[in-house]
Amino acid sequence: MKTLNHLLQANKAWAKKINEDDPLFFDTLSKQQSPEFLWIGCSDSRVPANQIVNLLPGEVFVHRNIANMVIHTDLNCLSVVQYAIDVLKVKHIMVVGHYGCGGIHAALDGHDHGLIDNWLRHIQDVDRTHGQELATIPDSEARHNRLCELNVYEQIRNLCATSIVKDAWKRGQELHIHGWIYDLHDGMVRDLNLCVTEPNDLPADTALVKPCLTQAVEAPLNQ
């Protein structure tokens, strides 16, 4: 039987280093899970949640799918959101898209991809919703990047419309929803000027949805 020995050895080295740095780390971690953050991101292997924001295991609850979608019929995603809000009591949900998203490329390339095309239809809906704005962008890469940003906006809209989030706000629970975009070229996460703490916070004008290039990634979490 073939085994992935190099990964098992890497795990040993990682666990050893963690133990050397903090001998009580794994014992403490095994007894509780109390993250303040839920990360809803893309499944892309180049976008690992913990590493990007330099958080240790136990500090961020994570849900990932192709193109960081929040779909009302996706019980997997909704179950994660419900557990994060109702049980873990997270205070911040980050919906994180990324430039160069393969899922968004596939949704628009006009080819058949099999089963995944049913999932990609939701991205095509976002494209149609914002078709007028996107049509004004002549450069294909810039247009794709803008769709990645607008997709984050639409997924936040979907998230805010769930009964889970609405019930949390109705009972006065602290909950902030942030829209971020990750750039594979420089490793930086940028705030999209989206921080929603109640339904009326979501901007109707998508011209306001744009990356804050000079704002540190930690800034939205302090709101």
Catalytic pick from 22, 27, 46, 128?
46
Phi, psi at 94, each rounded to 5°? -110, 120
Catalytic pick from 64, 77, 92, 101?
101
> 160 an active-site residue?
no
Catalytic pick from 63, 92, 98, 190?
98
> 98 an active-site residue?
yes
Q: What is the token pair recorded at 146? A: 């803008």
Catalytic pick from 42, 77, 160, 195?
42
> 101 an active-site residue?
yes
Task: With residue 93 as reference, give the H or E element that holds it.
Answer: strand 92-98
Alpha carbon distance 89, 168 (integer Å): 10
Contacts of 163 (CB under 8 A, 6+ apart): none
> 144 an active-site residue?
no
Alpha carbon distance 209, 149 (integer Å): 7
DSSP state of 86: I
Alpha carbon distance 152, 46 (integer Å): 18
DSSP state of 130: T
Contact predicate 146/190, CB 8 Å:
no
Contact predicate 186/133, CB 8 Å:
no
Which three-class secondary structure state does DSSP give residue 88? coil
Q: What is the token pair recorded at 109? A: 């390339």
> 178 an active-site residue?
no
Residues annotated as catalytic (active site), given as ranges? 42, 44, 46, 98, 101
